[in-house]
Structure 1
Amino acid sequence: MLLPIVYYRSMKIVNNPTNDIRFQIVLQRDKNARYSLREGSSVPDAALDSGFESLRRPYERSRLHLAMSPGQYARGGKGLALQYQIFESFLGLTLLCNSEAGIAALYLGDSRDALEHELQSEFHAARLEYSEDSVQRINVMDYLQGKRPERMITVHLLGTSFQQEVWAALASIPYGQSRTYSAVARSIGQPRSVRAVARACATNRVALLIPCHRVVGSDGTLRGYRWGKERKAALLAAESME
């Protein structure tokens, strides 16, 4: 269950510490759109994930530079060893998932079963193991409470280079502010890729640390949020009150 805004405000993220996140970038070059299609993505999804607004350009430009571990992301995390845990946070239940490289997922929800199902669906080929690692949990909770974590928080972003560019742009949005999808597209030098930016926000799997909740429609409406508009509204309201 979503906890009251006042509780979130008492745990606010100070000085926008998202700017201090170190991103784990794994570069894998010489991939193309057909690679994504062979792994089960639809033509529109493969195009948007790579930053194309139309279906023509992926075929005009066959070689894309994708930032992902070789085959892991496209094959459901094959070869990845992931540890996860579920705990209560100020936004309800939180699922924290770690790879050896860093935080691979931070989900929000109301049901343990639903959170585990989401993780298993997204990383269906990975080796998943439940963990009670209190050190990592405390480290993340300290960060979310505005404290400086004892250890650097590393986010293991698994996705195309376009998605990672969008997610890095999201992490630069200051606390208490928001950006439109078109503004984010312009900030990464892709002003015509608004739909692709929206999809990258929707596929962000690291809540709060990559603050996709700070992106709104051109008219100021909330639009969608992977973990529910109620949470998005609560987060934005709490941040704007500071």
Structure 2
Amino acid sequence: MTDYQRIAAALAYAGANFQDQPSLEQLAEHAHWSPFHFQRKFQEWAGVSPKKFLQYLSLAHAKRLLRQHASVAEAAYETGLSGTGRLHDLFVTLEAMTPGEYRHGGAALAIAYSFGESPFGRYLVASTATGICKLAFVDDEDLAVAALRQEWPHANLIAADTALHAQVARFFARDFTPADRLHLHLKGTPFQLKIWESLLRIPEGELRTYAQLADAAGSGSAVRAAGTAIGANPVGYLIPCHRVIRQTGALGQYRWGSVRKAALLGWEAARVESGLLARAA
């Protein structure tokens, strides 16, 4: 098991038993580590203790973030005063494929794919000559390639690393510069593309509801359609659909698993808080 898989097992247990407030020993048992080793490895991964991390996943924390959307703090993000919080908006650009490029299952496309490791598990990344067209977290590489082939039945699929894939790895590692601006090359309806662009503008460490995202995309009455577009997002993490939750504050579902969504949100919240503390010091 990888470190992330062990941590995910502990998070899954915590999510299923949050009312009982699991102890460090119980969490460590589900990660198959000693309490001491679990505490150390979790701190290395998240930057905070397991107890602090679980606070970031509480309903109270989620509701507080949603309320802050209308606060002065949001205005600071919108004017670019927090560059690190606007990671995706500043470093990821989205370009739509032409109908000819994805007609007939991508018959005119060459798509390179490879696998990588992230703080949230193994992933498959695929790209055209223009940009990244797919990023999916995977548990089984063969199934992931089969799904890619089903999505692009007539494209020329090539198992190969590319410079674009190396950029994705640097993005996960936060080892990039403005020159590393990541290009996405996506097929979707005009409405889907508008929703995905709106997702890019949600700052790291913040949350939106489906209704708020529909409003941001200029389609306030299309909440259900916005939810469908979010679920169809082909590029995990780079388009941060994990930052959209239910109106109640519940995290809700995620294309790559609710536990991974919790891991993403808690990890980002810890990074944002540590950045704020560092700037205040």
Name the TM tier (shorter chain): 0.7 to 0.9
Please list the CA deviations of residues 104-155 of structure 1 after superposition, one character each: whole Å capped at 9, or x if unmatched. Answer: 011101110121122112112211110033x433321211222224532111
Q: Which amino acid aligns with 1:107?
A: A
Shift of 1:8: 4.8
- Higher RCO (Cα < 8 Å, 6 or more apart): 1
RMSD (CA atoms): 2.1
Is the partner of 2:112 in helix, strand or coil?
A: strand
More helix by share: 2
Please list the CA deviations of residues 155-177 of structure 1 after superposition, one character each: whole Å capped at 9, or x if unmatched. Answer: 11211111010000001000001
Structure 2: gaps spanning 5 or more residues? 8-41, 48-82, 274-281
Residues 166 and 200 in structure 1, CA contact (< 8 A), matched pair in contact too: yes
The match for 1:16 is 86
Please list the CA deviations of residues 199-227 of structure 1 after superposition, one character each: whole Å capped at 9, or x if unmatched. Answer: 11111011111000000111112222111
What is the alpha-carbon distance in structure 1 between the residues aligned to residue 43 and residue 128 of structure 2? 33
Residues 115 and 125 in structure 2, CA contact (< 8 A), matched pair in contact too: yes
Q: Which amino acid aligns with 1:193?
A: A
Change (3 A) 1:6 1:162: farther
Residues 25 and 157 in structure 1, CA contact (< 8 A), matched pair in contact too: yes
Q: 2:95 aligns with which of 1, 25, 34?
A: 25
Matched, 1:137 2:207: no
Residues 136 and 234 in structure 2, CA contact (< 8 A), matched pair in contact too: yes
TM-score (structure 1 length as normaliser): 0.75
Query: Where does 1:137-216 land on structure 2 (aligned, <5 Å)?
Result: 137-149=165-177, 151-216=180-245
What is the alpha-carbon distance in structure 2 between the residues aligned to residue 222 and residue 76 of structure 1? 34
What is the alpha-carbon distance in structure 2 between the residues aligned to residue 6 and residue 231 of structure 1? 17
What is the alpha-carbon distance in structure 2 between the residues aligned to residue 96 and residue 144 of structure 1? 12
Residues 112 and 161 in structure 2, CA contact (< 8 A), matched pair in contact too: no
Change (3 A) 1:171 1:79: same
The match for 2:31 is none
Moved over 4 A (4+): 5-8
TM-score (structure 2 length as normaliser): 0.65
Q: Which amino acid aligns with 1:95?
A: L
What is the alpha-carbon distance in structure 2 between the residues aligned to residue 199 and residue 2 of structure 1? 32
What is the alpha-carbon distance in structure 2 between the residues aligned to residue 103 and residue 84 of structure 1? 10
Identity between Structure 1 and Structure 2 (%): 33
What is the alpha-carbon distance in structure 2 between the residues aligned to residue 144 and residue 92 of structure 1? 11
Please list the CA deviations of residues 11-65 of structure 1 after superposition, one character each: whole Å capped at 9, or x if unmatched. Answer: xx94432112353434xxxxxxxxxxxxxxxxxxxxxxxxxxxxxxxxxxxxxxx
State which structure, 1 or 2, has the greater radius of gyration over its C-alpha atoms: 2
Shift of 1:74: 5.2
Matched, 1:229 2:255: no
Residues 132 and 164 in structure 2, CA contact (< 8 A), matched pair in contact too: no
